Structure 1
Amino acid sequence: MKKPLILIADDEIRLRKLVSDFLLNSSYGVLTAADGKQAYDIFMEDRHKIDLIILDVMMPQMDGWEVLKEIKKISSVPVIMLTAKSEETDQLQGFKLGANDYVTKPFSPSVLVARVENLLKRSGKIGGERLGLGNLSIDLIEHVVYIDNCLIELTPKEFDLLVYFIQNEGIALSRDNVLNAVWNHDYFGDLRTVDTHVKQLRAKLGIHGGYIQTVRGIGYRMRCKDEDIDKS
């Protein structure tokens, strides 16, 4: 099995080297970028190989927010944002744009590596070939879904949609995000395609279809907390 490949984008050379060394010592592959434009170009060239991105906010050429926004239009790759700011508004902006985690400078490289490992496990990149959420279990090799060990029949697109939601658990995803990630960025269909497939997927998941929440004015979010379920 290939080792996960991490893209590190930060204009501070000492920080890039520090994080790179810790990741390399933890048996990860590493690519580095010195500015936002370089990070975006590297990702576009190797996006099917890159398993996670560590992205600084304040960078020349393109800032981290812009890079994050563009990447999330076409990919569900996990992204950890790095920033010198700790304000709640900055964190909320990152999460709204699709960031999976948020680390404030200065930080412990060991803790950052642990966050990388946690995100890779959640996305199914390491630690087995299964994803899980609540009573749902997904076998990424056999391409099947179980609820309480009972097989659920899904179409290929419904399967991809469910995997994308679980990989981005807790994040509000716009219909554009979903369409670009699941149907690919060159798909020119109607956004109602997303709603139709979500409706069908919810129906097949039964009472667990409520894990897929409607986020009014935005799109959808996957959560398994029963008290937060919105079945609308």
Structure 2
Amino acid sequence: MTNTELLSITKKLTVLYAEDDLEMRKSTTALLKNFFSHIYTAFDGREALEIYNNNLANIDLVITDILMPHLNGIELTKEILSINKEQKFIVISAYNETSYFIELINTGAVIGFLQKPIKRQELLNILTTASLFYKEEYETTIPLKDGFLWNKELKRLFLEGKEIPLSANETKLLDLFLSYPNTVFSAIDLHIYLFEDTKEFSEDSIKSFIKRLRKKIPLSSIQTHKDLGYSLSI
């Protein structure tokens, strides 16, 4: 998607942005103004919820920090979803807040995650993904490197028209990575996502899943982040 195509979508959208840090709120709002014509800002979750309730029909996308006073990002997300279950979110976090990812992913409402400090290219990548939710024609396949294709509806991987066999857990893991590209998930995050509380955590087990999955997808797609976890780049 070109920048012109992206702007033709985002400039029509209205955003609610919640962040308690004043300087971060100012700098990110300035960045968002490059993409959106209408932006509501809130200094905490409680004010964000009040703004949302007063402008329910106008807000297309909610961008929220996780750690905020009075009402944190998770609580805000749940409160808004109780009002509008179709609402979409982008969540901003610090590196030490990734433990919240799975809980937010399970809401089914989060389009993507951004980590502080926010970089323009990372925001551009997330907004490109987000814009697909607002296109009239929503594409069902994600093109990967080296000619691979991921069908989001069927949850199947293809190369040159032939399906690449994946186990149930490999499918679940790849679907998670592709739903949130460039997001770093810790080994514990991945364990909880795959097994919930039904199996004792083993980092070696997660490493084994990653190793097997790497053999079936484009080379270097899954990145290892030392002491942090894993991410996938498209």
The answer to whether residue 24 in structure 2 is matched with residue 11 in structure 1 is no
* Amino acid in the other structure paired with 1:212: I
Spell out, residue by residue over 1:29-86, the C-alpha distance to the aligned partner (whole angstroms, 9 max, x if none): 8799995635423545759x56643457xxxxxxx659954531434433466xxxxx
How far has the Cα of 1:222 moved from its partner? 1.5
Q: Which among 61, 71, 86 is matched to residue 100 of structure 2?
A: 71
Which of 146, 151, 166 is the matching residue for 2:158? 146
Instruction: Report how far residue 209 of structure 1 moved.
Output: 3.9
Which residue of the partner structure matches residue 25 of structure 2? none
Counterpart in 2 of 1:180?
192
Deviations 1:142-196 (Å, cap 9, x if unpaired)? 2211123221110121011112222332333321232233434675331222111
Aligned-residue sequence identity (percent) comes to 16
Could you tell me how far apart the structure 1 residues matched to 2:61 and 2:116 are? 29
Q: Which residue in 1 is equivalent to 2:227?
A: 217
Report how far residue 127 of structure 1 moved: 1.8
1:29/1:197 Cα in 2 relative to 1: closer, same or farther (>3 Å)? same
TM-score with structure 1 length normalisation? Answer: 0.55
Distance change (3 Å), C-alpha of 1:214 and 1:70: closer
Stretches of structure 1 that go unaligned for 5 or more consecutive residues are 1-5, 57-63, 82-88, 103-110, 225-232
* Equivalent residue for 1:41, pick from 75, 81, 85: 75
Q: Distance in 1 between matches of 2:190 and 2:168?
A: 15
Write the distance in 2 (CA, Å) between the matches of 1:8 and 1:185. 34
Q: 1:183 to 1:52 in 2, by over 3 A?
A: farther
Give the whole-Å Cα distance in 1 for the aligned partners of 2:148 and 2:227. Answer: 27
* Counterpart contact for 2:61–2:88, Cα < 8 Å: no
1:46-57 matches, within 5 Å, as 49=85, 52-54=88-90
- How large is the RMSD of aligned CA atoms in angstroms? 4.7
How many equivalent residue pairs? 181
Equivalent pair of 2:112/2:126 in contact (CA under 8 Å): no
- Report matched runs for 1:1-232 at 5 Å: 9=18, 10-11=42-43, 13=47, 17=51, 21=55, 24-25=57-58, 28=60, 37=71, 39-43=73-77, 49=85, 52-54=88-90, 65=94, 69-76=98-105, 77-79=110-112, 90-91=116-117, 116=127, 118-119=129-130, 121=132, 127-134=138-145, 135-184=147-196, 188-205=200-217, 208-224=218-234
What SS class does the counterpart of residue 189 from structure 1 fall into? coil
- Residues 80 and 101, structure 1, Cα contact 8 Å, conserved in 2: no
SS of the residue 1:53 aligns to: strand
Residue identity matched to 1:137: L
Query: For structure 2, which runs of at least 5 residues remain unmatched after alignment?
Result: 1-14, 19-41
Relative to structure 1, the CA distance from residue 199 to residue 169 in structure 2 (aligned partners, 3 Å threshold; closer, same or farther) is same
Secondary structure in 1 matching 2:190: helix
Q: Residues 142 and 189 of structure 1: is their aligned pair in 2 closer, same or farther, counting only changes over 3 Å? A: same
